[in-house]
Amino acid sequence: MSEKPIGVAVLGLGNVGTEVVRIIENSADDLAARIGAPLELRGVGVRKVAKGRGVSVDLLTDDIEALVSRDDVDIVIELMGPVEPARKAIMAALEKGKSVVTANKALMAQSTGELAQAAEKARVDLYFEAAVAGAIPVIRPLTQSLAGDVVLRVAGIVNGTTNYILSAMSETGADYADALAEAGVLGYAEADPTADVEGYDAAAKAAILASIAFHTRVTADDVYREGMTKVSAADFESAKALGCTIKLLAICERLTTGKGKQRVSARVYPALVPLDHPLASVNGAFNAVFVEAEAAGELMFYGRGAGGAPTASAVMGDVVMAARNRVQGGRGPRESKYAKLPIASIGAIETRYYVSMNVADKPGVLSSVAAEFGKREVSIAEVRQEGMEDESGQRSGARIVVVTHRATDEALSETVAALADHEAVQSINSVLRMEGTSK
């Protein structure tokens, strides 16, 4: 074993940071055996130095710049978030020749190129396994295990908060507001859940996955995003009748045009998923990522995607890799962006659709509604119609659910716009995509 220890600085002492420090201190002998040298904690960067934080006050400092610049620090573990001041701290560490491990998904989705270039220039490692799905190993399989394969599609449930809410709605029949309130009480949802329920968190992760899977730099701004706040209990009832459930999915896909040109699609939205698809059975706060590759076929990675201990597990996996590279004089995989594939617009994406609307209850309405789909060459696979009653028990219209065959998003959007202006359509209740079907 090398006698020279590997010095580590941790930035941030929240749930994940606290767990990382605990592992470093309590598993010192095991870590040293795996790395080939002792791993020593040099300091912990915090906003405010105070006693009673579970770490010796002598290790705490609010001078982040000085900590990451120390000569006895070899690896910087960034667990502060958000984008700033994390970006500044990571750039300073890389420029000083320190390897960096981060769990900062928002930063990696926004600044991967800048950080990767800095790491390349300094010839050090930049690892971020924990930025996508907590303890679930996804980044390393894509960058290493599947490095010799062609990844076709990556689709997954990558946000535990939204999956908990949608699972609760499916299981209990609760509406969105009640399920969100329950998630907040149980600690699954933040006081401000916007980043989760509007899909921003999942979009950042989709950008990272797409960049790695397709060797193309994809940012969060390239990801089409829809939240799940408008999903209703009625949508779940219809989904069950169709043999489906509803999940908020992050989808990254390699698309090939009729002329053989390839493009990349990265998108996040709530979608109907058939009950026999592996992602349909992922419930509660669990995450799962489903990968389809040319040679390997279908793979699924499943587990807890958030929380202090699971995320710390992924962080420490990266730390061990970075430390081994320091001991052995090697480096991990660099950013791969050689393909430089263009980003496909959402309008060009083909999938199936579920459209729910309220219409007047009179003869000829169904045929006139179907005609709007036909005008734009959107083929209808199935139609379900239910009568509606007002408070007095009188029929007040009908609810129609239309399920389409595959069509472009552009054609479907034009159809929905036309239906919204149709004299017989009282309201468009929901427009959801269907994923994981073979039709």
Is 303 assigned to a binding site? no
The SS3 assignment for 262 reads: strand
Is 432 assigned to a binding site? no
CA distance readout (Å), 144 to 34, 39, 303: 19, 25, 20
- Give the phi and the psi of residue 327 in degrees, each rounded to 5: -65, -40
Is 11 assigned to a binding site? yes
CB atoms within 10 A of CB 408: 17
CA distance readout (Å), 108 to 120, 156, 186: 15, 18, 29
- In DSSP notation, 388-418 reads EE-TTS-EEEEEEEEEE-SEEHHHHHHHHHH
- Give the phi and the psi of residue 121 in degrees, each rounded to 5: -60, -40
Residue in the structure block whose two tokens are 């090398």? 2
Rounded to an integer, what distance in angstroms lies between the CA atom of residue 242 and that of residue 435? 13
Is 317 assigned to a binding site? no
- In DSSP notation, 267-328 reads EEEEEEEETTSGGGG--TTEEEEEEEETTTEEEEEEEE--SHHHHHHHHHHHHHHHHHHHHH
Q: Which residue in 4, 48, 205, 259 is the catalytic one?
A: 205
Is 180 assigned to a binding site? no
What torsion do the CA atoms of 182, 188, 191, 194 make, to the nearest 10 degrees?
A: -100
CA distance readout (Å), 391 to 129, 191, 369, 388, 395: 54, 36, 26, 10, 10
Closest by CA to 9, choosing from 90, 67, 79, is 67
The answer to whether 96 is a known catalytic residue is no
Report the DSSP pairing between strands 99-102 and 75-78: parallel
Q: Give the containing element (helix H, strand E) for 126.
A: strand 126-127
Rounded to an integer, what distance in angstroms lies between the CA atom of residue 98 and that of residue 9? 10
- Read off the DSSP letter of residue 339: S
Report the DSSP pairing between strands 244-256 and 224-225: unpaired
Is 14 assigned to a binding site? yes
- Give the phi and the psi of residue 13 in degrees, each rounded to 5: -130, 45
Closest by CA to 203, choosing from 163, 156, 255, 139, is 156
The SS3 assignment for 245 reads: strand
Task: Say if CB 278 and CB 288 are below 8 A apart.
Answer: yes
Give catalytic residue positions.
205
Binding site residue list: 11-18, 105, 190
Binding site residue list for L-homoserine: 190
Binding site residue list for NADPH: 105
Binding site residue list for NADP(+): 11-18
